[in-house]
Amino acid sequence: MMRKVQQFLAMPGWQKRVFIQAWCLLGWVRLAILTTSFKHLARNLEHHKQPPPAVPLSEGQQRMAHIIGRLVASAAKYTPWDSLCLAQVLVVQRLLARRGIAGQFYLGVRRGCEATDDPTGLFAHAWLQCGPYIVNGAAGHEAFTVVSAFSWRGAHG
């Protein structure tokens, strides 16, 4: 635990702020997922029937997207509530949109060997992409069939 505290303290100040902001937003988004419809959560996003083309980003924007995706995933490990892929993706999306960084995220399903409470045996996953890179939820995403895709142009959302 002490090593984790030291790693946090060694982060640049802006990354500490993003980590704390992400941790708080993960709680807010978790509550929103439990109490509101997904349609309401995604109201500021453009919905696509087919995966949208990746929006080109500058090297700086791509680097920022990668760091934010990593910080949100790290913050999710320390929440006392479930902060699974959908919550993480929604938080990363909001943090990127506030910084004017465009991207898209995907919702996918597959029949899985993982334990699931769903009687259909379906397992769901969400991942977020900026430019050509997946910045959150990359692990295992290729095993899922995309059922919905959402994008934003980097405006506040």
pTM of the model: 0.89
The predicted-structure confidence for 81-109, as pLDDT tens digits, reads as follows 999 999 999 999 999 999 999 999 999 99
The pLDDT-based confidence of 113 (bands split at 50, 70, 90) is low
Residue owning tokens 């309401």: 40
Check whether 70 has a pLDDT greater than 60. Answer: yes
What is the C-alpha separation between 90 and 36, in angstroms, rounded?
14
Arithmetic mean of pLDDT over the chain: 91
